[in-house]
Amino acid sequence: LIKDESNNEAGKIIEEVFQKLKSGEDFSPLAKSYSEEPNASGGGDLGFVYIEQLQPQIRKALLELKVGEFTKPILTSAGYHIVKLEAKKMSQYAPISEVKNLIKSKLYDLKASEIYAKWMKTTKENIGIIIFNHPAM
């Protein structure tokens, strides 16, 4: 992050950083030198983040990247960003749209089991068993 307080200056700095990245310089030392983020001392590494937590402009740019690539400069309300995608990790949770039918099915099965158990209990209580003595016995 390079804050956009002086408009023109921040734009020049971020472009300089972008050109250095394009020429093959490592992301981490550049982040340490230029970034104003709290994580700059760690080379700008944010660790794993949920993509939904990111600003829309950054999210869109990241979705187009392959692992190891970095974005062009992105302007957000916080300032200019260049983001490098180090790794992708699937979330442990599936989106609701993918599991909606499974949830419905499980709830249906659960309710059906409850109704059946109630019916069986009532039936057992209300049915009498009659044993007839057969004369041949």
pLDDT of residue 2: 73
pLDDT of residue 21: 93
Count the Cβ atoms, other than its own, within 10 Å of residue 46: 13
Give the E-state strand segments of the chain in sequence order: 74-76, 79-81
pLDDT of residue 129: 63
pLDDT of residue 18: 93
| pTM: predicted TM-score of the whole model, two decimal places | 0.60
Q: Is the per-residue pLDDT at 11 higher than 60?
A: yes
For residue 2, which of 24, 22, 17, 23 has the smallest C-alpha distance?
A: 17
> Which whole number is the average pLDDT over 111-132?
82
Q: Is the per-residue pLDDT at 96 higher than 90?
A: no
Report pLDDT digits (tens) over 55-76: 999 999 999 999 999 999 998 8
Tokens of 37: 């983020």
